[in-house]
Structure 1
Amino acid sequence: METFNIKMPCTLYELSIKSVIDYFQYYDKNDLRMLPENILFDVYFMLYKENMLCPLYFEFSDLDVFVRMLKLTNKRLCLLKSFQALMDHGTPVAKTLANSYVLWCSLKRYETFGVDMKPAQLDSVIHTGIKVGGFLSEAGWFFDSEKILSACRDLCLKLPPCAESWRVTLECCHKLLHAQASFSLLDAAMETQKLAEELVQKLMLVKETMNLAGLYTVFSLNAFCRSDYDEAFRWSVEALKELGPGVSPRVMIDSLSQAAKACVVKREFTKADLLVRQAVCLAREAFGPDHPKFADTLQDYGFYLLNSDSIRHSVHVYGEALKLKMSAFGKSNLHIAAALEDLAYALYVHEYSSGRFDEARDHSEKAIEIMEKLLPAEHLMLASAQRVKALILEEIALDSVPNSSETRKKQLLLIWMKNELLGEAEKLHKNALRLSRLAFGEDNVQTAKHYGNLGRLYQSMKKYNEAETMHLKAIAIKEKLLGEDDYEVGLSVGHLASLYNYHMKQYRKAEKLYFRSIDINLKLFGHAYSGLEYDYRGLIHVYELLGDAEKWRSYTLILSTWKDLREQHALLDAAPLALTECPQPLDKIKQVFFESFKTNVKHLKFKIILQ
């Protein structure tokens, strides 16, 4: 049966917009800009859809025009797509807006012409900076966002000292801190947070009422990016306390998501599950299933699933987040790079036993390619992506084992490929370690992770003494920062046990370390945890070589029981969120969260300093 595609006729309004586009070059742009914002936006969006990006760039690079477009909150997703199309096309609209703003708000420019900036004019410049800077951060162009918001902050500090001035300066600091933390500008972020804390103190002294959920959430994000997980957790708890009926959906979602991430790294998985599911449901309800904010919460949900041993589901959720972000941000954006990196790592963990790493490698290489294109040289964000690629290359190299049945030429080729892959992985790990030490110093969890990764790599390269040194460094730093029973410590202890067991023949040392790793994993994850397999198999190997038949049989039975538990776990493993799941009342979420509070959290309060 023949079918026909019936094209629905355009409305009169759509035909009118199309007519404007057809004759766009002939219009006086000042006359065109007299149109109401919603109609003007539809004209601009039609320019995007018709791929008329040069005239669209001319319009969007005008600060006044762009600020008008930002008023249309219901058109935000369309604006993000249009903006990204301009960036992909090579038109530097973000840079143009940033440069225009800095020029506009520069006091020196006004002093040159002997004209003082009037209060109303100053107020307009500041609010423009907050709006445009905030949008650029949301759109993933953090460098230009930071440039605008820094200039805006400097202008805010020229305001006369009063509650209204402190409020607007605090709002600017809030946006600026988010951009700086997201872009790994660690020192600048700490200076901004210090200023924000001082402003809060001043507002408290004059009895100003304010909701600080959003600000505390960004404080938590800043600590999280510095790997100060205790601080991130404490600030996220303070943010949750501030949540109430008057808080906007965006702040509510951000606070829940960030608190969930903080709970994950503190291994508070029950709390993390409660919070992240609520965030996902709220984002879908408030912004819709195609919005980047919903994709953000899916990414945080994937982070929870991966760390709570639901690896297969995390791959699915990360994949969905990537699809949504690519729809909004195209293919060359830092948001896309981060989503690619997350999915690459989840795939690496998921396929660890299968050896199918092609997809994970492809995603990691795309993430690095985007970052190298968009970031300054030696930027910290590259360290994490390089680490993921190096881990994948190492596993691919270990699978490149010559077979005795293959020709000598094929065997030599595989040996060469293995050495090349391991050599590239070493370069990536060393560079990631160097960048981490420059940014964080020696005593940081990220630095410790890079030492541990090098330890595993040197083990694969048969450099056993170097491997031992790296593992011991990783353990020492993690124990100092996280305590002796943390998951990260257990991970490094297990890796050192493997080195002693399979390569250095120090079986009693390996046995002791395996016991410690098992003890940590059982406390945190229970008897069905996937990582226990490596410890149990390690002990079986130890007792086989030590000739301890009784313990060999005992751990062989334990491993068999573990396999049964894993099969049950796979059947009971909760699937990703169903589309029918609805948000719970906020009061109930907070009640459950704080009633289950077993961790001794130091309540954070600002110290009021009398001037």
Structure 2
Amino acid sequence: MARATELEWAPESLYNTAISAVVMRFTDNRTELRSLTDDVLFDVYYKLYDKNGLVELGNEFTDLDVFMRVLRVMNKRVLLHRSFQAIMDTEVNLAQVLAKEFCRRLTPEALEDETIKSKLIQLGLSLGSFLCEAGWFADSTSIYTACLDACINDENTNHKYRAMECAVRLLHSQNVNCQYKDSEETFNKAMKICMELEGRGHKVNKAVLHAQHCGLLFAQSRYTQAFNTCHLAILELNSNMPPIAIVDVMRLCSKACVVKREFKVAELLIKYAVAFAKEKFGKYHPKYADTLLDYGFFLLNYDCVIPAVKVYQLALDIRQSVFGGNNLYVAIACEDLAYASYVNEYSLGKFQHAKDHAEKSMSILSKILPEDHLLLSSSKRVKALILEEIGIDCNNRDEERKMFEEALSLHLSTLEQARQAFGEENVQTAKHYGNLGRLFQSMKRYEDAERMHKQAIEIKERLLGPDDYEVALSVGHLASIFNYDLAKYDEAEKLYLRSVKIVRELFGEGYSGLEYDYRGLVRLYTQRGEYGKANHYNDIINQWSVIRDAHLAKEVNPLEYEVNMSIPELVELVLKNHTPPSASQHQPKGADLKGDAKEAAERSSGE
């Protein structure tokens, strides 16, 4: 007998047939449907989505009581995300409607009744959590803020714990939505609540709070503080925590370790987080995609560019499958993949793949975020870097000028937003100066290029110290201008040698970015007629190539590994290898990389 999968048509189950029949006469049966169980009602609504009945479904979901019923069906959350996003892609801002309706219910009269108050706070936490999972952070923020305000001044211990939970969730939403000043206030409130509870003799696990604070400090480029806070989070990590909390602590702390070049600890944390998320949530779940993006971040900074691209692509595929449409999570994954592809394709000059993803990210974000939002600014930065490289390779002068002018406009816009968000004395601001320096070099505005790179170096040195990777990156860019465009060979030589020294000490002899400095030195010594030194660095390039080939040969499928330890064993191993530095020590940034050799001026890719 032929298997069902081999048939051209297979009959639906009786249950599915009944659901389809109900949906065909949905308008007639709408009122009676409310008497169904939550599971069955969910299936009716999803079939309605599947049949493209978005108007009717939107009308149903705008009823908060109805939506909370489908929200209780936890084992079909991915399907709910898919149908919810489809409604958001219409003119119905369902997230905002639900958030406003919830906040409207938090009346003084309702909050006076302890039973009603408890139910409302729980409803808010559930709704806020879903909207946060779905990428609608402004609306989840308004819900969490209302919940926090409702219980923060209540002396009841249970409500204090609720206030703590609201504050931690609010901190997460504000972090992702780039509301950093608000995040700082929320963190301070959360710490105050913790102290009040601990003052009463109650135990409070602060692992997630510390991890979210770590994420805030990371976003603000306060890397030493982030690394120290990461240590505090790991100290309180245990297997009794909810799986989603365990995953978030691990992945956020891993990023803090990456920028401190603590790659061994970062690898332990992120690989465990990826495997744990896959086991607990499944390989098609958004939380698994979250861990993949942070794993890609680790790989990209660990000089494993090709595996990073693969991991970023998988993360995007999952988010696209779950959300689709104009969703913030999809846009972020597109941007991450765009930058990784830009780095990967840098030596080949084939940037269409990277450009497509950067433009898709910008297109989505421009529809759902304000023009001055930092997330949109980040996508503009990536597109500007790509446009510059396309312009360099363009044979048509008019097209080249057009590409450069658009890139300049994008870079200036992102610089101004960075200044407003972080101030002048910030690594992110310095990186924008560096990107402008690269672009001005391409535009043959050499004095402007030199000024931008020197400004970037000065800021980075003040913040990170003289021997940081970020400093080496900018020093190498400035050396490229002196060498290829201004014939300042003595100055270029000093800069190249300084860059090489920093990078070798941080990464070893096989780091891919060293090729730029080596090739620059070969050209420099050739121009000065010092052929012995030029030959010496040609030999070094050959040795470097052997090391790189060996490194690339070792690269395997980044997801083919096993984790054979418990969470307590992981914590013990991490703490054994994790030594927080003094807050006064300088730290490497490390969020940006290099590509391979490129003709004309040898220099690393943009920041």
Equivalent-residue separation in structure 2 for 1:361 and 1:189 (angstroms) = 32
Q: 2:143 aligns with which of 139, 148, 154?
A: 148
- Residue by residue, what CA displacement relative to the aligned partner does 1:413-443 show, whole Å, maximum 9, x if unpaired? x011111111111100000000010111111
1:540 aligns with 2:522: yes
Read off the aligned partner of 2:525 and give its amino acid letter: Y
Asked whether the equivalents of residues 105 and 125 of structure 1 are also in contact (C-alpha less than 8 Å), the reply is yes
Equivalent-residue separation in structure 2 for 1:397 and 1:175 (angstroms) = 44
Number of residues of Structure 1 aligned to a counterpart in Structure 2: 581
CA 1:447–1:116: 2 relative to 1, 3 Å:
closer
Equivalent-residue separation in structure 2 for 1:52 and 1:278 (angstroms) = 41
Asked whether the equivalents of residues 415 and 432 of structure 2 are also in contact (C-alpha less than 8 Å), the reply is yes
- Residue by residue, what CA displacement relative to the aligned partner does 1:501-554 show, whole Å, maximum 9, x if unpaired? 111211111111111111111112111111000000111111112222221121
Read off the aligned partner of 2:365 and give its amino acid letter: M
SS of residue in 2 equivalent to 1:27? helix
Equivalent-residue separation in structure 2 for 1:485 and 1:316 (angstroms) = 32
Describe how 1:82-481 pairs up with structure 2 within 5 A.
Answer: 82-107=83-108, 110=109, 117-157=112-152, 159-401=153-395, 414-481=396-463
The equivalent of 2:81 in structure 1 is 80
Q: 2:479 aligns with which of 497, 501, 512?
A: 497
- Residue by residue, what CA displacement relative to the aligned partner does 1:459-499 show, whole Å, maximum 9, x if unpaired? 11111111111111111111122222221111111101111
After alignment, is 318-327 or 471-480 more displaced?
A: 471-480
Q: Gaps (5+ residues) in structure 2? A: 585-607
After alignment, is 36-45 or 470-479 more displaced?
A: 36-45
Equivalent-residue separation in structure 1 for 2:564 and 2:107 (angstroms) = 46
Read off the aligned partner of 1:73 and give its amino acid letter: M
Asked whether the equivalents of residues 295 and 321 of structure 1 are also in contact (C-alpha less than 8 Å), the reply is yes
Equivalent-residue separation in structure 2 for 1:324 and 1:40 (angstroms) = 26
Equivalent-residue separation in structure 2 for 1:379 and 1:36 (angstroms) = 42
- Residue by residue, what CA displacement relative to the aligned partner does 1:66-121 show, whole Å, maximum 9, x if unpaired? 222222221211111111111123322111101111222144xx5xxxx8742222
Asked whether the equivalents of residues 48 and 82 of structure 1 are also in contact (C-alpha less than 8 Å), the reply is yes
Describe how 1:544-583 pairs up with structure 2 within 5 A.
Answer: 544-578=526-560, 581-582=562-563
Read off the aligned partner of 1:594 and give its amino acid letter: L
The equivalent of 2:594 in structure 1 is none
1:5 aligns with 2:1: no
Equivalent-residue separation in structure 1 for 2:484 and 2:583 (angstroms) = 44
Which has the bigger relative contact order, CA under 8 A and spacing at least 6? Answer: 2
- Residue by residue, what CA displacement relative to the aligned partner does 1:216-267 show, whole Å, maximum 9, x if unpaired? 2111111122222222222222111111121111111111111111111111
The equivalent of 1:407 in structure 2 is none
Q: Gaps (5+ residues) in structure 1? A: 402-413, 604-611
The equivalent of 1:405 in structure 2 is none
- Residue by residue, what CA displacement relative to the aligned partner does 1:43-79 show, whole Å, maximum 9, x if unpaired? 2222122221122212221222222222222121111
Equivalent-residue separation in structure 1 for 2:107 and 2:545 (angstroms) = 66
Read off the aligned partner of 1:249 and give its amino acid letter: P
Q: 1:19 aligns with which of 15, 18, 21?
A: 21
Asked whether the equivalents of residues 154 and 160 of structure 2 are also in contact (C-alpha less than 8 Å), the reply is no
Provide runs of 4+ in structure 1 moved above 6 Å.
Answer: none
Equivalent-residue separation in structure 2 for 1:4 and 1:352 (angstroms) = 46
Equivalent-residue separation in structure 1 for 2:464 and 2:71 (angstroms) = 43
Asked whether the equivalents of residues 234 and 575 of structure 2 are also in contact (C-alpha less than 8 Å), the reply is no
Asked whether the equivalents of residues 281 and 583 of structure 1 are also in contact (C-alpha less than 8 Å), the reply is no
After alignment, is 265-274 or 348-357 more displaced?
A: 265-274
Asked whether the equivalents of residues 239 and 568 of structure 2 are also in contact (C-alpha less than 8 Å), the reply is no
- Note the aligned Cα RMSD (angstroms): 1.9
Q: 1:596 aligns with which of 572, 577, 585?
A: 577
Asked whether the equivalents of residues 511 and 539 of structure 1 are also in contact (C-alpha less than 8 Å), the reply is yes
**CA shift at 1:169, angstroms?**
0.8
Equivalent-residue separation in structure 2 for 1:335 and 1:276 (angstroms) = 19
TM, length-normalised to structure 2: 0.92
**CA shift at 1:598, angstroms?**
4.3
Asked whether the equivalents of residues 278 and 583 of structure 1 are also in contact (C-alpha less than 8 Å), the reply is no
Equivalent-residue separation in structure 2 for 1:286 and 1:116 (angstroms) = 36
Equivalent-residue separation in structure 2 for 1:447 and 1:96 (angstroms) = 37
SS of residue in 2 equivalent to 1:540? helix
SS of residue in 1 equivalent to 2:89? helix
**CA shift at 1:563, angstroms?**
1.1
Asked whether the equivalents of residues 231 and 580 of structure 2 are also in contact (C-alpha less than 8 Å), the reply is no
**CA shift at 1:319, angstroms?**
0.7
Asked whether the equivalents of residues 149 and 176 of structure 1 are also in contact (C-alpha less than 8 Å), the reply is yes
Asked whether the equivalents of residues 273 and 291 of structure 2 are also in contact (C-alpha less than 8 Å), the reply is yes
- Residue by residue, what CA displacement relative to the aligned partner does 1:6-62 show, whole Å, maximum 9, x if unpaired? 433333322332232222211252x42232222221222221222211222122212
The equivalent of 2:591 in structure 1 is none
Asked whether the equivalents of residues 247 and 273 of structure 2 are also in contact (C-alpha less than 8 Å), the reply is yes
Equivalent-residue separation in structure 2 for 1:517 and 1:17 (angstroms) = 66
Read off the aligned partner of 2:465 and give its amino acid letter: G
Equivalent-residue separation in structure 1 for 2:41 and 2:219 (angstroms) = 40
Asked whether the equivalents of residues 334 and 358 of structure 2 are also in contact (C-alpha less than 8 Å), the reply is yes
Read off the aligned partner of 2:483 and give its amino acid letter: N
Equivalent-residue separation in structure 2 for 1:47 and 1:329 (angstroms) = 17
Asked whether the equivalents of residues 299 and 339 of structure 1 are also in contact (C-alpha less than 8 Å), the reply is yes
CA 1:583–1:71: 2 relative to 1, 3 Å:
farther
TM, length-normalised to structure 1: 0.92
Equivalent-residue separation in structure 2 for 1:601 and 1:13 (angstroms) = 63
Equivalent-residue separation in structure 2 for 1:465 and 1:162 (angstroms) = 64
**CA shift at 1:206, angstroms?**
0.7
The equivalent of 2:595 in structure 1 is none
Equivalent-residue separation in structure 2 for 1:127 and 1:116 (angstroms) = 13
CA 1:373–1:545: 2 relative to 1, 3 Å:
same
Q: 1:584 aligns with which of 565, 568, 572?
A: 565
SS of residue in 1 equivalent to 2:284? coil
